[in-house]
């Protein structure tokens, strides 16, 4: 029997690759996007697609209802790829910013262009010029957000995530955690091997 998966944030990047990748593996994929034109494009590419804006409760309810209508009331998997981040030190994030992240990213599920899509939220919430970490913002984060348009040092192609997703959905014994990039493997190893204080020191050094 064909298994079904509902995916968010499928217009580009990781979500786009995951939708096509899992469809190629025989899954019935419901590849959702925030914009109608992106959904139409995915339909033309052979995917079932309809709108889902994870920050809009009505859109969430309609997408779930549409999914269950198409499947007859069942769903095997949900892949919450849609999300956004607010770059900045934790102490510089106001309560409303933390609330916005929580409400958007946790209760429900931006496309996968995470850097570009984070800029408006950074500009809305972070007073970096008034931060005690202003030097770090100027020397690192600002350049990374606004000047860098190429891949990060350890950035991998989108299908690196799709490979992990396929294992998580199809393996008889899925792993508790899936690491993708080299730094995630390194940090996981250090967390197991180092005392807590030394590990936090390494993290603080960046």
Separation of alpha carbons 39 and 130, rounded Å = 41
DSSP 8-state secondary structure symbol assigned to residue 98: H
Q: What is the pLDDT of residues 10-22, one digit of tens each?
A: 999 899 999 999 9
Q: Name the more confident of 169 and 105.
A: 169
Which pLDDT band, with edges at 50, 70 and 90, does 3 fall under? Answer: very high
Q: Which domains does the chain have, with CATH numbers?
A: 4-175 (3.40.50.720)
Report field, pTM of the whole predicted structure over 0.75: no
- In the block, which residue shows the tokens 């500009």? 123
15-19, 37-41, 106-110, 180-184: the lowest-pLDDT one: 106-110
Q: What is the pLDDT of residues 166-181, one digit of tens each?
A: 999 999 999 999 998 8
What is the pLDDT, as a whole number, of residue 57?
82
Q: What pairs with residue 33 in β-bridges?
A: 51
Sign of the C-alpha dihedral computed for residues 179, 180, 182 and 187 taken in this order: negative
Separation of alpha carbons 103 and 11, rounded Å = 21
């Amino acid at each position: 029997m064909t298994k079904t998966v509902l995916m968010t944030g499928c217009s580009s990047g990781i979500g786009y690759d995951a939708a096509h990748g899992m469809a190629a593996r025989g899954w019935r994929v419901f590849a959702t996007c925030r914009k109608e034109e992106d959904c139409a494009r995915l339909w033309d590419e052979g995917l079932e697609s309809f709108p889902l804006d994870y920050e809009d409760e009505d859109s969430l309810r309609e997408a779930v209802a549409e999914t269950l209508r198409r499947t007859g009331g069942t769903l095997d998997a949900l892949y919450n790829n849609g999300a956004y981040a607010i770059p900045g030190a934790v102490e510089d994030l106001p309560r409303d910013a933390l609330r916005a992240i929580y409400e958007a990213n946790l209760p429900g599920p931006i496309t996968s262009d995470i850097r570009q899509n984070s800029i408006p939220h950074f500009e809305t919430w972070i007073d970096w010029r008034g931060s005690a970490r202003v030097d770090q913002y100027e020397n690192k984060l600002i350049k990374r957000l606004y000047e860098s348009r190429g891949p990060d040092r350890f950035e991998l192609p989108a299908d690196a995530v799709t490979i992990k997703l396929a294992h998580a959905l199809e393996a008889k014994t899925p792993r508790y955690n899936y690491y993708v990039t080299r730094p995630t493997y390194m940090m996981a190893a250090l967390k197991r091997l180092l005392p807590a204080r030394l590990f936090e020191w390494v993290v603080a050094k960046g």
